[in-house]
């Protein structure tokens, strides 16, 4: 019996025979996440049902020195849940219980396989909700959200996952079960909870999450404004923030994205407008009404050609359906696409967008844009046709766009993580010493390198990189940030 067969039997004893998948055809279901261009078939998939089972599963992998990768819904877009060949995928899909909603303390305790939307649905009876709202919220899990520090349209005002996670129960790579964080937002000692949030499944497997719930706002006002150019839509975003208004959300879609979304869901966006901007304000009715007027004036000052104001919740939901369907709708206008995720300072949005358009034209590839404009978080979608041999050109363009964001003073990722996709670009943003420090932190949790190896940090084997000389980040060169 080889090591994998031995581990398979051990895992069957822990979770029951039905909780271990080893048939090659069934394993293929788990061979990729939302970054479907990368595929690896794992040796085994295990589906534990409790924290204790996860701890036993991880301890068994550790004893056998076999790598493992945690997996939620597999909607990740950076290849974070890509399996390791000859390794184990730990699927958290059986752990889907909302264990507690505490309306007095505005918090909930949930298992990692609970979907993002299910938390708000469970809290809704108490007039509460969970704020971070990735567009994949109907299917993505809170465990995946924690691992990616996921964002969403309303993170402009309310912050990212890390601002809404009070505590975590997690299994360390040797199988030890720990609690990190606590009931209050401030706990003594280093913030290990904060370290695990956003670590892309490389430090621990999250088995319970204590989330903060917010009271639903008194009023929500939403509009959809058309613009003659994407640059004018972007200038409107900058103008609104400069005027001191912080909307709950500001999202831009360009003409290609609108075309795809309309073909999929028909939410009533204008088909021939070069850009549309969704703006949502929430809060007390008086304040919202006044700021909504200010926002409309700024739209007009930047040349809006049409403003559609949501008259009620149904129309508001329709506008959001159009925006949230945009990624998945790309299949309507292109057989294949890469979703990129970079951040630029808001003031450089227009420059970034025109450079991306020029790069697309030079590569003879179409690039659609849908993005969280208020955060400067771009999502260029590079469209290509695999059957016409365009994959490598599209991948190169997508990588170049991410690296452009760094050159403009931004970041390689806003919310989708680094994963497999951008590990090799990390040296563009971080010096050798920074990467070595990150590696030391990782090894403090996982000295044997078993927990989601090959993700986030570049390795010479994956990237063939030779550590180059130190390159200051543009913000460092400009004196905005400092290297300590």
Residues in contact with ligand FAD by the rule CB under 6 A: 33-34, 69-77, 80-81, 92, 112, 134-136, 140-141, 143-145, 147-148, 150-152, 200-201, 205-206, 327-328, 415-416, 452
Nearer to ligand FAD, 302 or 452 (CB): 452
Shortest Å, Cβ 466 to ligand FAD: 27
Nearer to ligand FAD, 71 or 316 (CB): 71
Hey, what are 50's tokens? 């409790």
Shortest Å, Cβ 286 to ligand FAD: 31
CA distance 165 to 29: 30
Residue 213 region, left (φ>0) first, then alpha (ψ -120 to 50), else beta? Answer: beta
Q: Which residues, at least 6 apart from 456, have a Cβ–Cβ distance to it below 8 Å?
A: 199, 200, 202, 417, 418, 419, 423, 426, 438
> Residue 168: phi, psi to the nearest 5?
-135, 140
109 forms beta bridges with: 100, 210
Closest CB to ligand FAD belongs to which residue? Answer: 144
Hey, what are 226's tokens? 């058309």
Nearer to ligand FAD, 79 or 427 (CB): 79
Nearer to ligand FAD, 75 or 350 (CB): 75
Buried b (16+ CB within 10 A) or exposed e, 380-409: bbbbbeeeeebeeebeebbbbbbbbbbebb
Shortest Å, Cβ 22 to ligand FAD: 20
Can you spell out the DSSP letters for 393-406? HHHHHHHHHHHHHH
Nearer to ligand FAD, 118 or 295 (CB): 118
Shortest Å, Cβ 380 to ligand FAD: 14
The answer to whether residues 145 and 201 touch, using CB atoms and an 8 Å cutoff, is: no
- Residue 47, CB half-sphere, CA atoms under 13 Å: how many? 16
Nearer to ligand FAD, 58 or 225 (CB): 58
Determine the Cα angle at 324 with ends 323 and 327, to 5°: 95
Shortest Å, Cβ 115 to ligand FAD: 8
Nearer to ligand FAD, 262 or 415 (CB): 415
Shortest Å, Cβ 69 to ligand FAD: 5
Shortest Å, Cβ 178 to ligand FAD: 13
CA distance 62 to 324: 40
Shortest Å, Cβ 2 to ligand FAD: 25
104: helix, strand or coil:
coil
Shortest Å, Cβ 293 to ligand FAD: 29
Beta strands in 234-310 (DSSP E): 249-254, 275-283, 306-309
Nearer to ligand FAD, 327 or 430 (CB): 327
Shortest Å, Cβ 202 to ligand FAD: 7
> What are the distances in angstroms from CA 141 to CA 88, 167, 415?
19, 16, 15
Nearer to ligand FAD, 118 or 363 (CB): 118
Nearer to ligand FAD, 291 or 383 (CB): 383
- Write the burial class of residue 305 (CB in 10 Å: 0-12 exposed, 13-18 middle, 19+ buried): middle
Beta strands in 172-323 (DSSP E): 177-181, 205-212, 214-215, 219-227, 249-254, 275-283, 306-309
**Furthest-apart CA atoms within the chain: distance in Å:** 73
> What are the distances in angstroms from CA 483 to CA 297, 345, 475?
41, 19, 11
């Amino acid at each position: 019996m080889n090591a994998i067969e031995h581990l398979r039997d051990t895992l069957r004893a822990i979770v029951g025979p039905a909780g271990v998948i080893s048939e090659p055809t069934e394993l293929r279901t788990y061979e990729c996440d939302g970054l479907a261009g990368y595929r690896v078939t794992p040796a085994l998939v295990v589906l534990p049902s409790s924290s204790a089972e996860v701890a036993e599963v991880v301890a068994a992998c550790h004893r056998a020195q076999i790598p493992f990768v945690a997996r939620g819904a597999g909607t990740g877009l950076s290849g974070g849940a890509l399996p390791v060949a000859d390794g184990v995928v730990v699927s958290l899909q059986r752990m889907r219980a909302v264990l507690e909603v505490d309306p007095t303390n505005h918090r909930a305790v949930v298992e990692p396989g609970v979907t993002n939307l299910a938390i708000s649905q469970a809290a809704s009876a108490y007039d509460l909700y969970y704020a971070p709202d990735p567009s994949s919220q109907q299917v993505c899990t809170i465990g995946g959200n924690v691992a990616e520090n996921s964002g969403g349209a309303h993170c402009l005002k309310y912050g990212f996952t890390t601002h809404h996670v009070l505590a975590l129960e997690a299994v360390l790579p040797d199988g030890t079960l720990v609690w990190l964080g606590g009931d209050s937002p401030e706990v003594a000692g280093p913030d290990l909870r904060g370290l695990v949030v956003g670590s892309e499944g490389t430090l621990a497997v999250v088995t319970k999450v204590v989330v903060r719930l917010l009271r639903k706002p008194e009023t929500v006002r939403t509009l959809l404004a058309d613009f003659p150019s994407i640059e004018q839509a972007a200038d409107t975003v900058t103008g609104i923030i400069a005027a001191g208004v912080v909307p709950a959300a500001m999202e831009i879609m360009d003409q290609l994205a609108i075309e795809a979304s309309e073909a999929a869901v028909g939410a009533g966006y204008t088909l021939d407008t070069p850009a549309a901007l969704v703006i949502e304000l929430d809060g007390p009715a008086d304040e919202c009404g006044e700021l909504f007027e200010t926002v409309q004036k700024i739209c007009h000052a930047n040349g809006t050609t049409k403003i559609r104001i949501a008259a009620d919740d149904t129309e508001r939901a329709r506008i959001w359906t159009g925006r949230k369907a945009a990624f998945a709708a790309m299949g309507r206008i292109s057989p294949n696409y890469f979703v990129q995720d970079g951040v630029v300072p808001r003031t450089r949005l227009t420059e970034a967008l025109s450079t991306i358009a020029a790069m697309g034209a030079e590569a003879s590839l179409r690039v659609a844009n849908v993005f969280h404009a208020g955060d400067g978080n771009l999502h260029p979608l590079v469209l290509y046709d695999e059957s016409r041999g365009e994959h490598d050109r599209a991948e190169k363009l997508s990588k170049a766009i991410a690296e452009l964001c760094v050159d403009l003073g931004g970041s390689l990722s806003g919310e989708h993580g680094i994963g497999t996709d951008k590990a090799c670009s990390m040296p563009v943003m971080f010096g050798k010493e920074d990467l070595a420090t990150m590696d030391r932190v990782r090894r403090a949790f996982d000295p044997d390198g078993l927990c989601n190896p090959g993700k986030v940090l570049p390795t010479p084997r994956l990237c063939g990189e030779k550590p180059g000389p130190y390159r200051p980040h543009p913000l460092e060169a400009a004196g905005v940030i400092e290297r300590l």
